[in-house]
Amino acid sequence: MIGRLNHVAIAVPDLAAAADQYRGTLGAQVGPVLDQPDHGVRVVFIDLPNTKIELLAVMGDASPIQGFLDKNPSGGIHHICYEVVDILAARDRLLASGARVLGGGVPKIGAHGKPVLFLHPKDFTGTLIELEQV
Ligand code: CO
């Protein structure tokens, strides 16, 4: 069911500093800052030859990554995103298997303008999983 690894997301306390580090120190192709008010985050995508890195920073007062950054003040890997062809079929299969799909199982439009869903980390070996329909 899952396809390519679309991205690995890293929560960061300082988006500009993290983007500068990827651009300068690591020599990566760093994209523009994208505000995602519906998701409570501000993101920067880094294009790698085989996948992307998503740097995530808090936006607003009720950001879903605030708790993660409180526990990991220097940042850390927040989620991984797998591609799926049909997100509703994927959701139905996961629900039938007993997995918890966050947000009531209703896909939101993600940073790439495509539908996304998140799966409960306790159901997947401690890893928050994002599914993106491509
Ligand atoms: Co993501």
Q: What is the pLDDT of residues 12-31, one digit of tens each?
A: 999 999 999 999 999 999 99
Cα 115 to ligand 1 centre (Å): 11
DSSP 131: E
Q: What is the pLDDT, as a whole number, of residue 111? A: 79
Cα 9 to ligand 1 centre (Å): 6
Q: What is the pLDDT, as a whole number, of residue 99? A: 96
Q: Which residues of the chain have pLDDT under 70?
A: none
Please tell me whether residue 90 adopts helix, strand or coil conformation.
Answer: helix
Domain span holding position 53 = 5-133
Q: What is the pLDDT, as a whole number, of residue 48? A: 97
**Which residues form the catalytic set?**
130
Distance of CA 52 to the CA centre of its chain: 11
Cα 103 to ligand 1 centre (Å): 15
Q: What is the pLDDT, as a whole number, of residue 41? A: 95
CA dist 18 and 13 (Å) reads 8
Q: Which residues contact 101 (CB under 8 A, 6 or more apart)?
A: 91, 94, 95, 117, 118, 119, 120
Q: What is the pLDDT, as a whole number, of residue 112? A: 83
- CATH number where 19 lies: 3.10.180.10
Q: What is the pLDDT, as a whole number, of residue 19? A: 98
Give start and end residues of each alpha helix (H) in 5-46: 15-20
Q: Which residues contact 56 (CB under 8 A, 6 or more apart)?
A: 9, 10, 11, 12, 41, 42, 43, 65, 78
Q: What is the pLDDT, as a whole number, of residue 38? A: 83
Domain count along the chain: 1
Cα 79 to ligand 1 centre (Å): 7
Q: What is the pLDDT, as a whole number, of residue 106? A: 96
